[in-house]
Structure 1
Protein backbone atom coordinates (compact mmCIF):
# COMPACT_ATOMS: atom_id res chain seq x y z
CA UNK A 1 0.00 0.00 0.00
CA UNK A 2 2.86 2.42 0.75
CA UNK A 3 3.72 2.70 -2.97
CA UNK A 4 0.39 4.36 -3.79
CA UNK A 5 -0.10 8.10 -3.46
CA UNK A 6 -2.47 9.01 -0.61
CA UNK A 7 -5.53 11.15 -1.30
CA UNK A 8 -4.69 13.05 1.89
CA UNK A 9 -2.39 12.95 4.90
CA UNK A 10 -3.17 14.27 8.38
CA UNK A 11 -0.41 14.64 11.00
CA UNK A 12 -0.86 15.01 14.74
CA UNK A 13 1.20 15.10 17.92
CA UNK A 14 0.29 13.33 21.15
CA UNK A 15 2.39 14.35 24.12
CA UNK A 16 2.62 10.83 25.51
CA UNK A 17 5.21 8.08 24.93
CA UNK A 18 5.01 6.38 21.55
CA UNK A 19 4.55 2.95 23.12
CA UNK A 20 1.57 4.13 25.19
CA UNK A 21 -0.19 5.72 22.21
CA UNK A 22 0.56 2.75 19.95
CA UNK A 23 -0.73 0.31 22.59
CA UNK A 24 -3.98 2.29 22.92
CA UNK A 25 -4.59 2.39 19.17
CA UNK A 26 -3.62 -1.22 18.45
CA UNK A 27 -5.56 -2.78 21.35
CA UNK A 28 -8.00 -4.61 19.09
CA UNK A 29 -9.72 -7.94 19.64
CA UNK A 30 -12.93 -9.68 18.67
CA UNK A 31 -15.95 -8.33 20.52
CA UNK A 32 -17.71 -5.02 21.13
CA UNK A 33 -15.90 -1.76 20.38
CA UNK A 34 -15.32 0.43 23.41
CA UNK A 35 -12.72 2.35 25.38
CA UNK A 36 -10.68 -0.84 25.87
CA UNK A 37 -11.17 -2.34 22.39
CA UNK A 38 -10.65 -0.60 19.04
CA UNK A 39 -10.60 2.77 20.81
CA UNK A 40 -10.30 4.59 17.46
CA UNK A 41 -13.76 3.26 16.43
CA UNK A 42 -15.55 3.93 19.73
CA UNK A 43 -16.85 7.29 18.49
CA UNK A 44 -17.80 5.95 15.07
CA UNK A 45 -21.02 5.94 13.07
CA UNK A 46 -22.47 2.86 14.78
CA UNK A 47 -22.28 2.74 18.60
CA UNK A 48 -22.91 -1.02 18.65
CA UNK A 49 -20.00 -2.16 16.47
CA UNK A 50 -18.80 -5.72 17.15
CA UNK A 51 -15.54 -6.91 15.64
CA UNK A 52 -15.04 -10.51 14.60
CA UNK A 53 -11.86 -12.27 13.52
CA UNK A 54 -8.34 -11.57 14.69
CA UNK A 55 -5.67 -11.45 15.80
CA UNK A 56 -4.52 -9.00 13.11
CA UNK A 57 -7.50 -8.73 10.75
CA UNK A 58 -11.07 -8.02 11.80
CA UNK A 59 -14.45 -7.38 10.19
CA UNK A 60 -17.49 -5.48 11.44
CA UNK A 61 -20.94 -4.74 10.11
CA UNK A 62 -21.81 -1.05 9.90
CA UNK A 63 -25.34 0.31 9.51
CA UNK A 64 -25.78 1.79 6.03
CA UNK A 65 -22.73 0.03 4.54
CA UNK A 66 -23.57 -3.40 3.14
CA UNK A 67 -19.90 -4.41 2.95
CA UNK A 68 -19.05 -3.29 6.49
CA UNK A 69 -15.50 -2.45 7.46
CA UNK A 70 -12.22 -4.29 7.65
CA UNK A 71 -9.67 -3.45 10.33
CA UNK A 72 -6.01 -4.48 10.09
CA UNK A 73 -3.64 -4.17 13.04
CA UNK A 74 0.15 -4.46 12.90
CA UNK A 75 1.21 -4.07 16.50
CA UNK A 76 4.93 -4.49 15.75
CA UNK A 77 4.79 -1.55 13.30
CA UNK A 78 2.37 0.52 15.44
CA UNK A 79 -0.03 0.69 12.49
CA UNK A 80 -3.72 0.17 11.98
CA UNK A 81 -5.86 0.42 8.88
CA UNK A 82 -9.58 0.68 8.31
CA UNK A 83 -11.21 -0.12 4.96
CA UNK A 84 -14.82 0.58 4.14
CA UNK A 85 -17.27 1.21 1.38
CA UNK A 86 -15.74 0.13 -1.92
CA UNK A 87 -12.90 2.62 -2.18
CA UNK A 88 -11.76 3.88 1.23
CA UNK A 89 -8.68 2.85 3.22
CA UNK A 90 -7.23 4.89 6.06
CA UNK A 91 -3.90 3.94 7.58
CA UNK A 92 -2.68 5.37 10.88
CA UNK A 93 0.88 5.01 12.10
CA UNK A 94 2.35 6.01 15.45
CA UNK A 95 5.95 7.17 15.36
CA UNK A 96 8.32 8.72 17.91
CA UNK A 97 8.27 12.53 18.17
CA UNK A 98 10.36 14.85 20.39
CA UNK A 99 7.20 15.68 22.38
CA UNK A 100 6.07 12.03 22.59
CA UNK A 101 4.31 10.57 19.54
CA UNK A 102 3.43 11.56 16.01
CA UNK A 103 0.32 10.08 14.43
CA UNK A 104 0.22 10.02 10.65
CA UNK A 105 -3.08 9.16 9.00
CA UNK A 106 -3.30 8.66 5.24
CA UNK A 107 -6.35 7.94 3.09
CA UNK A 108 -6.03 5.81 -0.05
CA UNK A 109 -8.25 4.91 -2.98
CA UNK A 110 -8.39 1.09 -2.99
CA UNK A 111 -11.25 0.74 -5.49
CA UNK A 112 -10.84 -2.20 -7.83
CA UNK A 113 -13.53 -0.94 -10.19
CA UNK A 114 -14.78 2.57 -10.82
CA UNK A 115 -11.54 4.17 -9.56
CA UNK A 116 -12.26 7.16 -11.76
CA UNK A 117 -15.32 8.00 -9.60
CA UNK A 118 -13.37 8.25 -6.35
CA UNK A 119 -12.09 11.83 -6.85
CA UNK A 120 -15.71 12.98 -7.14
CA UNK A 121 -16.91 10.90 -4.18
CA UNK A 122 -13.88 11.79 -2.05
CA UNK A 123 -14.29 15.53 -2.51
CA UNK A 124 -13.70 17.13 0.88
CA UNK A 125 -12.12 13.97 2.32
CA UNK A 126 -9.15 15.87 3.78
CA UNK A 127 -11.39 18.19 5.79
CA UNK A 128 -13.46 15.25 7.00
CA UNK A 129 -10.32 13.34 8.00
CA UNK A 130 -8.96 16.35 9.90
CA UNK A 131 -12.25 16.59 11.80
CA UNK A 132 -12.25 12.85 12.49
CA UNK A 133 -8.62 12.98 13.65
CA UNK A 134 -9.37 15.95 15.92
CA UNK A 135 -12.22 14.02 17.57
CA UNK A 136 -9.87 11.06 18.08
CA UNK A 137 -7.18 13.35 19.49
CA UNK A 138 -9.68 14.86 21.93
CA UNK A 139 -10.59 11.37 23.14
CA UNK A 140 -6.92 10.32 23.38
CA UNK A 141 -6.12 13.50 25.32
CA UNK A 142 -8.93 12.82 27.78
CA UNK A 143 -8.09 9.10 28.07
CA UNK A 144 -4.33 9.57 28.58
CA UNK A 145 -4.42 12.97 30.33
CA UNK A 146 -2.06 14.64 27.86
CA UNK A 147 -2.06 17.21 25.07
CA UNK A 148 -2.91 15.98 21.59
CA UNK A 149 -3.26 18.25 18.56
CA UNK A 150 -3.17 18.45 14.78
CA UNK A 151 0.02 19.67 13.13
Structure 2
Protein backbone atom coordinates (compact mmCIF):
# COMPACT_ATOMS: atom_id res chain seq x y z
CA UNK A 1 0.00 0.00 0.00
CA UNK A 2 1.22 3.49 -0.80
CA UNK A 3 2.25 5.56 2.20
CA UNK A 4 -0.87 7.37 3.37
CA UNK A 5 -1.72 9.03 6.62
CA UNK A 6 -3.68 6.64 8.85
CA UNK A 7 -7.04 7.67 10.28
CA UNK A 8 -5.85 6.23 13.59
CA UNK A 9 -3.06 4.18 15.12
CA UNK A 10 -3.32 1.87 18.13
CA UNK A 11 -0.18 0.43 19.76
CA UNK A 12 0.06 -2.43 22.20
CA UNK A 13 2.75 -4.50 23.91
CA UNK A 14 2.70 -8.28 24.18
CA UNK A 15 5.24 -9.73 26.60
CA UNK A 16 6.16 -12.61 24.31
CA UNK A 17 8.86 -12.98 21.64
CA UNK A 18 8.17 -11.14 18.40
CA UNK A 19 8.40 -14.33 16.33
CA UNK A 20 5.80 -16.09 18.48
CA UNK A 21 3.31 -13.22 18.27
CA UNK A 22 3.92 -12.73 14.54
CA UNK A 23 3.39 -16.45 13.88
CA UNK A 24 0.13 -16.41 15.84
CA UNK A 25 -1.23 -13.43 13.90
CA UNK A 26 0.03 -14.36 10.42
CA UNK A 27 -0.95 -18.03 10.41
CA UNK A 28 -3.65 -17.82 7.77
CA UNK A 29 -4.79 -20.42 5.24
CA UNK A 30 -7.90 -21.28 3.26
CA UNK A 31 -10.58 -22.87 5.41
CA UNK A 32 -12.55 -22.10 8.55
CA UNK A 33 -11.45 -19.27 10.82
CA UNK A 34 -10.55 -20.46 14.31
CA UNK A 35 -7.87 -20.38 17.01
CA UNK A 36 -5.37 -22.06 14.65
CA UNK A 37 -6.29 -20.10 11.51
CA UNK A 38 -6.69 -16.33 11.22
CA UNK A 39 -6.60 -16.00 15.02
CA UNK A 40 -7.27 -12.24 14.74
CA UNK A 41 -10.68 -12.97 13.13
CA UNK A 42 -11.67 -15.92 15.33
CA UNK A 43 -14.25 -14.00 17.37
CA UNK A 44 -15.33 -11.67 14.58
CA UNK A 45 -18.81 -10.94 13.32
CA UNK A 46 -19.29 -14.38 11.74
CA UNK A 47 -18.16 -17.37 13.84
CA UNK A 48 -18.55 -19.68 10.81
CA UNK A 49 -16.36 -17.53 8.54
CA UNK A 50 -14.48 -19.40 5.80
CA UNK A 51 -11.43 -18.01 4.03
CA UNK A 52 -10.86 -18.72 0.33
CA UNK A 53 -7.69 -18.17 -1.67
CA UNK A 54 -4.13 -17.97 -0.46
CA UNK A 55 -1.33 -18.21 0.22
CA UNK A 56 -1.05 -14.45 0.82
CA UNK A 57 -4.43 -13.05 -0.19
CA UNK A 58 -7.79 -14.35 0.99
CA UNK A 59 -11.47 -13.49 0.74
CA UNK A 60 -14.29 -14.22 3.16
CA UNK A 61 -18.01 -13.69 2.82
CA UNK A 62 -19.52 -11.43 5.45
CA UNK A 63 -23.24 -10.95 6.05
CA UNK A 64 -24.36 -7.49 5.01
CA UNK A 65 -21.32 -6.85 2.82
CA UNK A 66 -21.70 -7.86 -0.84
CA UNK A 67 -17.93 -8.00 -1.34
CA UNK A 68 -17.09 -9.55 2.03
CA UNK A 69 -13.63 -8.88 3.39
CA UNK A 70 -10.17 -9.23 1.96
CA UNK A 71 -7.30 -10.48 4.12
CA UNK A 72 -3.70 -9.94 3.07
CA UNK A 73 -0.74 -11.54 4.84
CA UNK A 74 2.98 -10.76 4.55
CA UNK A 75 4.63 -13.26 6.86
CA UNK A 76 8.17 -12.03 6.14
CA UNK A 77 7.19 -8.52 7.28
CA UNK A 78 4.99 -9.78 10.18
CA UNK A 79 2.06 -7.83 8.69
CA UNK A 80 -1.57 -8.58 8.02
CA UNK A 81 -4.30 -6.39 6.61
CA UNK A 82 -8.07 -6.59 6.51
CA UNK A 83 -10.14 -4.61 4.00
CA UNK A 84 -13.88 -4.32 3.97
CA UNK A 85 -16.81 -2.13 3.09
CA UNK A 86 -15.79 0.43 0.47
CA UNK A 87 -13.38 2.48 2.52
CA UNK A 88 -11.83 0.50 5.39
CA UNK A 89 -8.36 -1.04 5.59
CA UNK A 90 -6.69 -2.02 8.87
CA UNK A 91 -3.03 -3.01 8.87
CA UNK A 92 -1.48 -4.81 11.81
CA UNK A 93 2.28 -5.16 12.25
CA UNK A 94 4.31 -7.02 14.86
CA UNK A 95 7.64 -5.40 15.73
CA UNK A 96 10.31 -6.05 18.37
CA UNK A 97 9.85 -4.29 21.72
CA UNK A 98 12.08 -4.38 24.83
CA UNK A 99 9.33 -6.32 26.67
CA UNK A 100 8.69 -8.69 23.75
CA UNK A 101 6.54 -7.43 20.88
CA UNK A 102 4.81 -4.24 19.81
CA UNK A 103 1.59 -4.77 17.89
CA UNK A 104 0.62 -1.72 15.85
CA UNK A 105 -2.71 -1.39 14.13
CA UNK A 106 -3.47 1.43 11.70
CA UNK A 107 -6.73 2.21 9.92
CA UNK A 108 -6.69 3.76 6.45
CA UNK A 109 -9.23 5.29 4.11
CA UNK A 110 -8.93 3.31 0.86
CA UNK A 111 -12.07 4.65 -0.79
CA UNK A 112 -11.67 5.19 -4.51
CA UNK A 113 -14.75 7.39 -4.68
CA UNK A 114 -16.72 9.43 -2.15
CA UNK A 115 -13.57 9.83 -0.01
CA UNK A 116 -15.14 12.96 1.46
CA UNK A 117 -17.77 10.78 3.20
CA UNK A 118 -15.26 8.71 5.17
CA UNK A 119 -14.62 11.22 7.98
CA UNK A 120 -18.35 11.19 8.75
CA UNK A 121 -18.66 7.41 8.53
CA UNK A 122 -15.42 6.78 10.43
CA UNK A 123 -16.37 8.97 13.38
CA UNK A 124 -15.35 7.11 16.53
CA UNK A 125 -13.14 4.67 14.62
CA UNK A 126 -10.19 5.16 17.00
CA UNK A 127 -12.26 4.22 20.05
CA UNK A 128 -13.65 1.19 18.23
CA UNK A 129 -10.16 0.11 17.18
CA UNK A 130 -8.85 0.48 20.75
CA UNK A 131 -11.70 -1.75 22.00
CA UNK A 132 -11.04 -4.25 19.21
CA UNK A 133 -7.33 -4.30 20.01
CA UNK A 134 -8.05 -4.75 23.73
CA UNK A 135 -10.21 -7.80 22.96
CA UNK A 136 -7.47 -9.20 20.71
CA UNK A 137 -4.86 -8.61 23.43
CA UNK A 138 -6.99 -10.48 25.97
CA UNK A 139 -7.19 -13.45 23.59
CA UNK A 140 -3.45 -13.31 22.81
CA UNK A 141 -2.64 -13.11 26.53
CA UNK A 142 -4.82 -16.13 27.29
CA UNK A 143 -3.53 -18.12 24.30
CA UNK A 144 0.17 -17.44 24.96
CA UNK A 145 0.03 -17.15 28.77
CA UNK A 146 1.63 -13.72 28.86
CA UNK A 147 0.81 -10.10 29.66
CA UNK A 148 -0.48 -7.82 26.92
CA UNK A 149 -1.60 -4.21 27.21
CA UNK A 150 -2.43 -1.09 25.22
CA UNK A 151 0.20 1.64 25.14
TM-score bin, normalised by smaller chain: over 0.9
Question: For residues 65 and 14 of structure 2, what CA distance do their matches in structure 1 show?
Answer: 31
State the shift of 1:67 in Å.
1.1
Describe the superposition over 1:90-111 as per-residue Cα deviations: whole angstroms up to 9, x where unpaired. Answer: 0000000000000000000000
Listed as ranges, the gaps of 5+ residues in structure 1 are none
Residue 23 of structure 2 corresponds to: 23
Residues 115, 30 of structure 1: CA spacing in aligned structure 2 closer, same or farther, 3 A cutoff? same
When normalised by structure 2's length, the TM-score is 0.99
Question: For residues 109 and 39 of structure 1, what CA distance do their matches in structure 2 show?
Answer: 24
Residue 125 of structure 1 corresponds to: 125
Residue 102 of structure 1 corresponds to: 102
Describe the superposition over 1:10-51 as per-residue Cα deviations: whole angstroms up to 9, x where unpaired. Answer: 000000000000000000000000000000000101111000
When normalised by structure 1's length, the TM-score is 0.99
Listed as ranges, the gaps of 5+ residues in structure 2 are none
Q: How many residues align?
A: 151
Moved over 3 A (4+): none
Q: Does 1:115 align with 2:110?
A: no
State the shift of 1:83 in Å.
0.1
